[in-house]
Structure 1
């Protein structure tokens, strides 16, 4: 599938954003990248989940198949997203023919057995099929890619992720018809079909077993729960994400001192953090959950969480003592929306976490937040999560509008020369004071009169498809999107003359 327009051309046409303010459109590549990097496929302040899904599908059709495949892999392997790469794969299967790109993509992005069933469920929805209709005309390349995925999973993984849903793993096995790589795997497939896979050893099954037992006293039950947690912690089979999400339960179970030491050591281990591929805001969620507890062990856990998230910023480059940086966080009303229906973390929190990660690595930095007003806030370095909480405590001090232009106006009026301005926002900026000032105008004036070499980086946390000023290298403006610490890899690429697409186009399939 080919399209006769220049993908490298920078879009500069104007439109209006969700607030009715003048905004700038993006190229199909950049718009798809931003939409994917910020997609939780749940309702947001300005856009419902089905609206975002429809826009993703339209954008896939406007882009080169290879770029869509590269972006899907980038989202899965670099941004740690699960559902949206599957959406891209299914859409590509609907539109692209003639080679094995789709099968290679699916074999790459499907990394857990439940992603096989999730992909098939979306395939049925996207192709308006249900029941027996799903069995008809399953894309051959899609089928081949899923078969390759099936061959990678062992019995533990199949049993762990064999869950109820629109499509079960057993159904998927019949649909895909994978050829077992050996007799042992054929036995696993047969067990899956019969529902006879051994119950996997997981923290859920172990705690569930305790919950089903009868105890003479509440104290005996509590002791059994503590012993189970201690065994799980000591076994090394409690995954990093499970550990992060169960810190409250572990503290309330009053596990042994030895177990607590292992918990904190694991949390703070840089290699464990890297392997876990946690989004930075997950550490904030754990920090908030734990900090409210009365336990005397809370301080140690909070310190371990600070160390853990600090590992995410270790590879940031280009911010030596001579680099002057401004970190501005949007705390407007539209940013106070959860990243997903099941999360307590807001877009606002994501912006603060990424902003404070950046602040922690800068030697010469001004940090602050904007709403109705712009306020600089001096905070110590090396305390990412604590600093986020301080911003959170003070966010009402600036109001809830989106007067982002005040960040640049303040620099211009002070005649303060900086190298980089980082704005963490949903890009839906508007001027509540109705005085005609805009971010675009202020940025032009600042570069013209004060700092011609300055660069502005918009960290788009929502992916609504527009920006408050044109994204053009000539104007020193760049767009970065996403919630992972990996967005800073894009920042490094920009520093080396690349673009937001450079990291994506490095992906090989």
Structure 2
């Protein structure tokens, strides 16, 4: 009799053969050109990863961009910025379009370059020569000049906070034509050229006066301009009410160290700002940023403020969907997941690990879907009981503390099959670098195990959340399988739409993006 393992019609029929080897050496499926670009745009940070370097990532994204239409590049850039809250990748794709499709680059620039930091990213990338030119060129220069002309003084001051290039460098490159005396004076002040002191914008004039006497009222300039001066506790408390929400989240220890919370009313005001639902809905902080902030606050930060951070985390997860039926969420807790989620970059490596994000997604799904089953895995499924009524931060911290071992993405599916479990939706959160799975001819073990599960649960759907830009997956897209990349609330939206049958795949969601 023929070998049943090799020739089993039940498990091999319709299963695609693997066509790639992942970074860990395991059999895998390569993303199609559009899916690969979308994945890179939503997760790539142009930094060194666990398996590959920043140079390889840059080469990958430019190669993927050339393999698709400029129209899809434009949609991926806007999706990555507006839905994925990414920074470097949208700027890179906008710069690429200035060469690939200069006309299309114009609306993309307007949608993607939405603040001073993004403007500096764009100019830096253009001047690097990586997209095919070392100078801005006439049209990109015009786009940058128009951005400067339309920007308000607060926007320009925010843009002037940062270097490489600085806003002064950009002004020297594009030579904006000031439309008013105060704008002309500001540019002169910025680049160190003679200017009319009497025409300085009120904010800059107040800053110059305050520098001569730092004991007076704080001028209305970015808080970063003031922190190099000796400030009183009261002035620090004032800054706490003035700085942006994200800056407030990141500077709690600094405020505590400088006595801001000793000022009457400061603690209540900071806590109120951090937990304000309307502000969180507008700012859309990444939930993992809040979880990390909670872990980093020192003992000097008042408990009321720490509690507000936890409340902010809960509010930031308002978009986590309720999934119908039997839900299983599988966070990858293997060794490679201990790497920095946004990669390694000298002086700017994030403390957020991939495992933190996977754990947070699992805990968030459990909070919304109280009957969901959580199956962390590395080489095999890791046994752990979580309380669905516990706060998200508590369950996420427990999961993130596991860590270690190789990667076997098929392990939770194999366990579900061994149990003959009833399943409607499986969510796997991983870097997709599976290599321990049992070797099979043709398909990955993940696809084989999923097909076995589908035989018992015909309506089941598999959602694979890929949080690293390596370009391969263990489960190929089809009507019941979606691969989605990223680690913002856009992932939860994509998950809900797919589970409800609203969309077929993630590329379809990106294609719906307006440019």
Select which of 485, 488, 491 maps to 2:492.
488
Shift of 1:141: 3.0
Select which of 280, 283, 293 maps to 1:286.
293
Matches within 5 A, 1:135-150: 138-150=136-148
CA gap 1:154/1:13 in 2 versus in 1, 3 angstroms: same
CA gap 1:92/1:381 in 2 versus in 1, 3 angstroms: farther
Partner of residue 44, structure 1: 49
Whether contact under 8 Å (1:424, 1:461) holds in the other structure is yes
Q: Distance in 2 between matches of 1:157 and 1:27?
A: 39
CA displacement, residues 136-191 of structure 1 (integer Å, 9 cap, x when unaligned): xx333322322222123223332343256443323322433444455554443444
Root-mean-square deviation (CA), in Å? 2.6
Task: Classify the secondary structure of the residue corresponding to 2:376.
Answer: strand
Whether contact under 8 Å (2:464, 2:484) holds in the other structure is yes
Partner of residue 119, structure 2: 116
Shift of 1:205: 3.1
Select which of 204, 211, 214 maps to 2:224.
204
Task: Answer with 480-489 or 496-505: which moved more.
Answer: 496-505
Partner of residue 190, structure 2: 192
CA gap 1:180/1:377 in 2 versus in 1, 3 angstroms: farther
Whether contact under 8 Å (1:313, 1:358) holds in the other structure is no
Partner of residue 377, structure 1: 385
Is 1:456 equivalent to 2:462 in the alignment?
yes
CA displacement, residues 270-297 of structure 1 (integer Å, 9 cap, x when unaligned): 111122232221101111112xx33483
Whether contact under 8 Å (2:253, 2:301) holds in the other structure is no
CA displacement, residues 20-69 of structure 1 (integer Å, 9 cap, x when unaligned): 22111111110100111111111001110111011111111111111111
Q: Distance in 2 between matches of 1:434 and 1:145?
A: 53
Q: Distance in 2 between matches of 1:71 and 1:353?
A: 25
Task: Classify the secondary structure of the residue corresponding to 2:230.
Answer: helix
Partner of residue 107, structure 2: 104
Is 1:72 equivalent to 2:77 in the alignment?
yes
Is 1:502 equivalent to 2:505 in the alignment?
no
Shift of 1:408: 0.8
Partner of residue 336, structure 1: 338
Task: Answer with 78-87 or 272-281: which moved more.
Answer: 272-281
CA gap 1:269/1:295 in 2 versus in 1, 3 angstroms: same
Matches within 5 A, 1:381-400: 381=389, 383-393=391-401, 395-396=402-403, 399-400=404-405
Is 1:264 equivalent to 2:271 in the alignment?
yes
Q: Distance in 2 between matches of 1:435 and 1:11?
A: 12
Structure 2 gap ranges (5+): 1-14, 208-219
Task: Answer with 80-89 or 100-109: which moved more.
Answer: 100-109
CA gap 1:428/1:443 in 2 versus in 1, 3 angstroms: same
Partner of residue 444, structure 1: 451
Task: Classify the secondary structure of the residue corresponding to 2:227.
Answer: helix
Partner of residue 217, structure 1: none
Q: Distance in 1 between matches of 2:236 and 2:376?
A: 41
Q: Distance in 1 between matches of 2:120 and 2:435?
A: 42
Task: Classify the secondary structure of the residue corresponding to 1:208.
Answer: coil
CA gap 1:180/1:205 in 2 versus in 1, 3 angstroms: closer
**Count of residues paired in the alignment:** 467
Normalized against structure 1, the TM-score is what? Answer: 0.85
Normalized against structure 2, the TM-score is what? Answer: 0.84
Task: Classify the secondary structure of the residue corresponding to 1:374.
Answer: coil
Whether contact under 8 Å (1:37, 1:75) holds in the other structure is yes
Q: Distance in 2 between matches of 1:143 and 1:468?
A: 44
